[in-house]
Amino acid sequence: MATQPLQQTCCQGLLHFWVLMTQRLELPIGLLISQSGSYEAVSRAIHAGAELAIGEINARPQQPVKLIPVTIDPAGSLAGYVEGARVLLRDHGLKHVVGCYTSSSRKEVLPLFEKADALLWYPSHYEGFETSENVVYSGAAPNQHIVPLTRHLLGQFGTRGWMVGSNYVWAWENNRILREAIAASGGAVLGERYFPVGETDLGDVVRQIVADCPDFVFTTLIGQSGFAFLKMLRAAAEAAGIDQPSDMPVASCSLSEAELPLLGDAASGHLSSSVYFSTIKSDENRQFTALWNERFGQMGQASADAESAYVAVHLLARAAECAGSTGFEAVREAVRDLTFDAPQGQVTVDGDNLHCWMRPRIGRSRSDGSFDILVEHPAALRPDPYLTWAHDARDGDSRDLRLIQ
């Protein structure tokens, strides 16, 4: 790998020369991202993040690559994703698509990408246990979200936890990891309940949680269910005279800036494990958030999902630039070990598993729609989708997380 920067410089140099002599390399890119449906707040942020990067790249005349986007809205339905992928891959003949949010949608379209020799740029954190050669994963892997959060919760708050989630694999797998860590530390799972995606009738479980008074609540409820739960829990705890944010904090691996404006009075005091928060202090992030606020400020502050899509598009453009081609295999090989100075900091695509090296962080939401960053890993962490190399969450004493506040 030591020769790669040199190779990249050479290929970039040649390409620049070629670009000056001819014209920009046109790279058609599909956007298979829901603009409506139960998780639309997050999904719209993903779309906006991709748009931002496309606009940024296309606006620079010296950029050797020009992106031509084709957008399809699957409206949050699995059938919509399959149909959308068919149209993009077969009718448009695209080789690169940024898209999907839930794992079920990704699993559904994956065979189509394998068949078409095309690359899916998947911009969301997920539960891991997949390494497809047809996917570049720019969101966090489980060793970068649930494992550090588990250590933080058990180390800072106690070992009596309540788990509530939307009834699908994201919730089951994260809860499995947390449950095993709680058991290993001699703690107790006071309760574990699942609800259909979109369910908002959560009064019973909220009453039970307040009565049990756990050390922390871990939620994997997504979309509307998540908003309803956080509001109801806050209200029920207040009614019982409990200071919920400090006495039974709610933690998740998905709460983002895109959702805080929808929580009203209950927006502050929640813990979230993420590789990106809008409050990260860096030049790249200042630039990114300024762009975001100007174009998409009405959607709330910039979020991890938006940034992840932004990173995915930039990685794609750079890989195509380096490969001097928009082809599936040329771009995939070029993206291995590629580094990008992202708003969150330096992001590197792992040459082995096509996930990204990133820094885990834990934030606490504020009433102004952003997060205070409480903890961050001192360096980018190698993605470990199968948790092959991660030490069991139990033997972590948060040595590798740096308390910064």
Q: How many separate helices (H) and strands (E) can be counted in the chain?
A: 12, 16
State the minimum distance, in angstroms, from the CB of residue 30 to other proteins.
Answer: 22
CA dist 99 and 43 (Å) reads 9
- Paired with 71 in beta bridges are 31
Could you give the angle at the alpha carbon of 268 between the alpha carbons of 39 and 380, nearest 5°? 70
DSSP H or E segment with residue 180: helix 169-184
Could you give the angle at the alpha carbon of 166 between the alpha carbons of 236 and 373, nearest 5°? 70
State the minimum distance, in angstroms, from the CB of residue 85 to other proteins.
Answer: 16
Nearer to other proteins, 62 or 389 (CB): 389
Please tell me whether residue 188 adopts helix, strand or coil conformation: strand
State the minimum distance, in angstroms, from the CB of residue 33 to other proteins.
Answer: 23
Give the DSSP per-residue string, 287-334: HHHHHHHHHHGGG-S--HHHHHHHHHHHHHHHHHHHHTS--HHHHHHH
Nearer to other proteins, 180 or 284 (CB): 180
Q: Where are the beta strands (DSSP E) in 110-245?
A: 119-122, 135-137, 160-166, 188-195, 216-220
Give the DSSP per-residue string, 219-235: EE--HHHHHHHHHHHHH
State the minimum distance, in angstroms, from the CB of residue 5 to other proteins.
Answer: 25
Write out the residues near other proteins by the rule CB under 8 A. Answer: 110, 114, 129-133, 180, 352-353, 385-389
State the minimum distance, in angstroms, from the CB of residue 343 to other proteins.
Answer: 28
State the minimum distance, in angstroms, from the CB of residue 122 to other proteins.
Answer: 14
State the minimum distance, in angstroms, from the CB of residue 197 to other proteins.
Answer: 23
Nearer to other proteins, 102 or 254 (CB): 102
* Terminal Cα distance for the chain, rounded: 37
Cα 267 to the center of its chain, rounded Å: 20
For the chain, the 3-state helix, strand and coil shares in percent, each to the nearest 5, are: 45, 20, 35
Nearer to other proteins, 19 or 140 (CB): 140
Nearer to other proteins, 134 or 326 (CB): 134
Find the radius of gyration of the CA atoms of the chain.
Answer: 21
CA dist 309 and 262 (Å) reads 21
* Bridging pattern class, strands 250-252 and 361-365: unpaired
Nearer to other proteins, 133 or 243 (CB): 133
Nearer to other proteins, 114 or 247 (CB): 114
Nearer to other proteins, 310 or 357 (CB): 357
Q: Which residues of 366-386 are buried (b: 16+ CB within 10 A; e: fewer)?
A: eeebbbebbbbbeebbbbbbe
DSSP H or E segment with residue 176: helix 169-184
Nearer to other proteins, 130 or 305 (CB): 130
State the minimum distance, in angstroms, from the CB of residue 145 to other proteins.
Answer: 18
State the minimum distance, in angstroms, from the CB of residue 203 to other proteins.
Answer: 32
Nearer to other proteins, 252 or 348 (CB): 348
Nearer to other proteins, 389 or 399 (CB): 389
State the minimum distance, in angstroms, from the CB of residue 180 to other proteins.
Answer: 8
Q: Which residues of 77-107 are buried (b: 16+ CB within 10 A; e: fewer)?
A: eeebbbebbeebbeeeebbbbbbbbbbebbe
State the minimum distance, in angstroms, from the CB of residue 317 to other proteins.
Answer: 26
